[in-house]
Structure 1
Amino acid sequence: MATVLVIGSTGKVGRVVVEEVLQGGHTVKAQTRNARRARRWLPEGAEIVEASPVDAEALRPLVADVDAVILTHGTDHDGRDGATFYDVVRAVVDALGDSATHISLMTTMSASHSAGDELSKYPWVEWKRRAERFLRASGRPYTIVRPGWFDYQGPADRQIDLRQGDLVTGQPGVDRRHIAQVLLEGTLNPSGARRTVEIFSKAGDPVTDFEALFAATRADEEGVIDGVLDTNNVPLASEPQRVQDDLARLGK
């Protein structure tokens, strides 16, 4: 059984991740800024740990004995805390140091799109791309999950649909529990490592073989900061200087 730290545990997806970890018989540490508030949202059995998610020193004791970290930290769609999302990922990577702990990161579909794309109007999308790049550059095991539109799935959409290339447009739906399952199973199955996937829900039977689900996708290339099938990627020189400096520190 695994021990999993969930960053963003009281969010709309984070709470479902905590439930999935517990239902799988694993141990969960649920990070929050406010333990009192978290106790109202989280199920019994979750160990609630209070720490700032952007403080690597505060996170270091929390990650010392975990097998995986799942990040579901959200952003406001007005972009105010998009940079904070990036800082959370950077703090977790720094806190983990040289360990081989797996990170599963929830971002968004369209995260890879170029700065000239229409979605570049939304800073939170840009920062999620930058966080993805930082995580890939870190050299540690990871699964990056880009969800579609929460709760837009139909009643028959019980099967997880993984895609790659960041090519889906419109409002394809995804069940939050499917997101939680892929974030968790990415840490538990060998083929989940170094994957960047978009996730949606479609009609069909629920997935039971997650190793086969991930094995049907392509792993990201070693040493490359973008998803394996992403196209029209933003040139690194177009990223903010502090992002370029962070990637240079990681040897990219």
Structure 2
Amino acid sequence: MALLTQADVQRMSDNGTRGPVVVARGEVLTPGARDWLREHRVEVVYPQGESGGEDGSSAPARYQTLFGATLNEKPEHMTHLKGNVLVCKDHPRIAFRGWIDRLEAEILLTQQTTYRAGLKKLTAELEEVLAFVRRYIRFDVLDEPVGPIRLCGYTPEQLREYSHYPEKHLGQPHFLPSHTDSPALLAVNRLRTLVRQAELAAYAAFRDGDGNVTRGDMILGLNRLSSLMWIFMIKLKAGAYEHTQ
């Protein structure tokens, strides 16, 4: 029997931002782990047929696939879509989660660049962006709505307006990035392209057979996030961010 401590479940759920926590056969949650999971409202998944009892006793693990099959063991080429439902690792929703993971990594690298450049305000804004992106796994796995969007003080309408008419609102016209631009601007530009790729992956993941979108809120959030990246670039080009040491 293996004990899952609070530190274990925090790591498994990325501190409550990615969840759910899957408790496999033969694993038991410690009281501290259970308290932390309840406090942070992280879903705990036991494969079908497992009791999840305090004593760790359980029936053989049972999984389901989208094709109606039931499995006693999880194949290496499959992963959890939701609960005990398994899909192949190239499923569009799993691919989308991979893009979110990549997007998080790129945000961190961009923050490193802006921090070293003394752009503390932009670094803090990117931290807000990171928190927003990290919630996307929960939006998907737990079917949570994105809810009202407000990023770095902008409403969805303002994000669209400011990114479409930057000279009117920010005093800087549209421009094409150049190798002569600052490392911070080029890092944000690269981040912008990954946001756009994540948006395309979201469309592939959340559309039905007729092409209708099933999670328009998630796609809208990424679309407006792309607009925010362009606003960051406009402000960098205009010298609107103060450099501090």
Q: TM-score if structure 2 supplies the norm length?
A: 0.26
Higher-helix-fraction structure:
2
Higher-strand-fraction structure:
1
Structure whose alpha-carbon radius of gyration is higher: 2
